[in-house]
Chains A and B, each alone.
Chain A
Amino acid sequence: AQSVTQPDIHITVSEGASLELRCNYSYGATPYLFWYVQSPGQGLQLLLKYFSGDTLVQGIKGFEAEFKRSQSSFNLRKPSVHWSDAAEYFCAVATSGTYKYIFGTGTRLKVLA
């Protein structure tokens, strides 16, 4: 069965520091992979997605993610974090041809001034 694991429940970084949020998935074929961000009490906003091709994908707000098939990972990165990046981040996976997404349990990011 498909699954998504986000090993870090909470992460705290200082403003201006780099960020990496981890995501591991379980699926036999190449999945569709997504990262979403959620501010408190709000819906989820799509940051970026990977379908195929270049394994390094760029998203909005200066985020990028790298698909590594050998590690079944799709980690999210940002070179320099801003205080406004404080939010909860969700990784999701969908199989080809389906529209059902499996979400990880989320990583809550705190940014120190």
Chain B
Amino acid sequence: DGGITQSPKYLFRKEGQNVTLSCEQNLNHDAMYWYRQDPGQGLRLIYYSQIVNDFQKGDIAEGYSVSREKKESFPLTVTSAQKNPTAFYLCASIPAGGNYGYTFGSGTRLTVV
């Protein structure tokens, strides 16, 4: 079945470390997104990419970086510059040319210890 795979499901990071969250999709979708979810704040857009080798900052990009070297993959790196990284991170994708609604992965919960 087609879908979006996020890994790992749980991730623990020490302060000062960079960590990378994986997002892979086999839906042949062109656009991919990273959202951060905190209790009571809904989902906030971190970065998005509409084509390979191109991406744009969302509303809360500071302290994060991404790459889009392959259509199927859109990894997110949480750097040590992100002051409050503990959150639930969601990856989503959508095909080009149609606003049919995002398909979401099952998320990664990042905890700073």
Between A and B, how many residue pairs show CB distances below 8 Å?
Answer: 53
Residues of chain B in range 41-89 having any CB-CB distance to chain A below 8 Å? 41-43, 45, 48, 50, 58, 88
Give Cα distance in the complex from A94 to B43, angstroms. Answer: 14
Asked if A75 lies at the interface with its beta carbon under 8 angstroms from chain B, I say: no
* Contact assessment for A45 and B42 in the assembled complex, using a CB-CB cutoff below 8 Å: no
* Contact assessment for B100 and A44 in the assembled complex, using a CB-CB cutoff below 8 Å: no
* Contact assessment for A105 and B102 in the assembled complex, using a CB-CB cutoff below 8 Å: no
* Contact assessment for B31 and A43 in the assembled complex, using a CB-CB cutoff below 8 Å: no
Q: Which B residues have a C-beta under 8 Å from some C-beta of A? A: 4, 6, 31, 33, 35, 40-43, 45, 48, 50, 58, 88, 90, 92, 94, 99-107, 109
Q: List 29 A-B contacts (CB under 8 A).
A: A32-B99, A34-B101, A41-B88, A41-B107, A42-B106, A42-B107, A43-B4, A43-B6, A43-B106, A43-B107, A44-B90, A45-B104, A46-B102, A46-B103, A51-B99, A90-B43, A94-B99, A96-B99, A99-B33, A99-B48, A99-B50, A99-B99, A100-B45, A100-B48, A100-B58, A101-B45, A103-B35, A103-B43, A106-B42
Closest 6 CB pairs of A and B: A43-B104, A105-B42, A103-B43, A46-B101, A103-B42, A44-B104
